[in-house]
Amino acid sequence: MRYFSLSLTMDFIALDFETANASRGSVCEIGVSIVQSGEVRETFSRLVRPKSNWFHPMNTQIHGIDALQVAREPEFDTVWQEMQAIFDSHNVVAHNASFDISVLRHALTEYELPFPSFSYTCSLMVARRAWQGLGSYGLSALSQRFNIRLKHHSAASDAEACARILLRAAEDHQLSCFEDIENHLEIQIGKVYPGGYLPSGKLKKCGAKAKKQEVQVDLSKINRNHPLFGKYVVFTGALKSMKRQEAQVALLEAGGHYTNNVTYQTQYMVLGEKSFTNFTEGIKSSKLMQAERLSNNRRPIEFLSEQQFLKLLKLGNSFKIR
C-alpha cells in the first residue's frame, strides 16, 4: 500500500468528531491524527459521554456508538483538558471542516471553556480544488481512490484518512507548507481564536483575482437565552436588509447554526421578501416544499419573513460585516 510523505514543513493535526444527536455539542468521540514534517506520527481517539447522554438512533446507526458504551467515559471538558495543548497554535485539518470546527466551538461554548488559537482548513475543499472532475469527494470515495485504509465513522480512522488525503494533495501540487493551501489552491485559511473565529474561505474560481473578504464572528456576543441559540436555520431567497453572508454571521453570533439545505435538523426557514410573498400566495420553491414535507413528517419548521428574523436577532437593519 502506497502512502505519501513530504520531507518538508507540512505539519498539522487532522481532526474528526462523531456526535450523539443533532446538537453540535453532543460529542461522543474525538479522533486525532498528528502529522509532522509530512508524516503521520500518531493517531488516536477518545470516547466522550455527552452531557445528556442521549443518542439519536440515526447517529448510532452511522457510527455504532450508543449511550451504554460511553456511560462511564469522561465528558468533553475532561477530555479537552488532555487534548487542548495538541491544538493550541497548531494547524488543523478536517474533512468538511465547517462541521467539525462547529462541533468544537459548540462543545467549548457549552462547557464555558475558552477557545484555543489555531489555523485550519478543509480537506474536502482542498480535494475539490486539487482533483477537479471527480465524481465524489467524500472520505470513502477518496480513500478508495488513493488506497487509504478507512473504517468510516470511526473517528481515529476518519482523522487519519483526512490527514493522508491532504498529504496526497500536497504531494500532487507541491505544497511545501500549510500556507501554500491558501497561496496555490486559493482556499482561505480559517482561524479559531479566544472569543471568535474566521471561517475557512469559500471556494473561488482557480486563477480568479477575487477580493478576499474576511468575515469575523465574535462569539463573545452569544447569549444562551437568545431565541436563536442552538437553533438550525436555513435561508431562501434574497434578503433586502443585508447580504446572505451578513445574516449568517449574525445568526452565528446569536449562537445559532445555519445550513445550506433543509434537513431533519432545520427549525427555522427565513424567506427573503420575494420568497415570502410567493409563499403567502401559495407559490412554493422546491426548498419550501422540502421544508413542508420535513415539517409534517419530522417536527415543525417555523417559516419567518425577513422582518421576523430581524426582530428575533434584535439587530434591526444596522448589522454590517466588520
- Note down pLDDT in tens along the chain; length 322 residues: 444 444 356 899 999 999 999 888 999 999 999 999 899 999 999 999 999 999 999 999 999 999 999 999 999 999 999 999 999 889 999 999 999 999 999 999 999 999 999 999 999 999 999 998 888 999 999 999 999 999 999 999 999 999 999 999 999 888 888 888 988 888 989 999 987 888 886 654 544 444 445 556 777 777 778 888 888 888 988 888 888 888 888 888 888 887 777 777 788 889 888 887 777 777 777 777 777 777 765 568 888 888 889 888 875 334 443 3
Same fold: 12-217 with 223-313 = no
For the chain, which residues make up each domain, given as ranges?
A: 12-217, 223-313
Which one of 3.80.30.20, 2.115.10.20, 3.40.50.300, 3.40.50.10190 gives the CATH number of domain 223-313?
Answer: 3.40.50.10190
Run of H or E residues at 19: strand 12-19
Which candidate, 238, 237, 235, 261, places its Cα nearest to that of 248?
235
Residue 232, C-alpha cell as written in the block:
438550525
SS3 292: helix
The fold of 12-217 is Nucleotidyltransferase; domain 5 (3.30.420)
Q: Are 212 and 202 in contact (CB under 8 A)?
A: no
Q: How far apart are the first and last CA of the chain?
A: 49
Q: Do 227 and 312 touch, CB atoms closer than 8 A?
A: yes
Residue 193 grid cell: 481564536
Give the pTM: 0.68
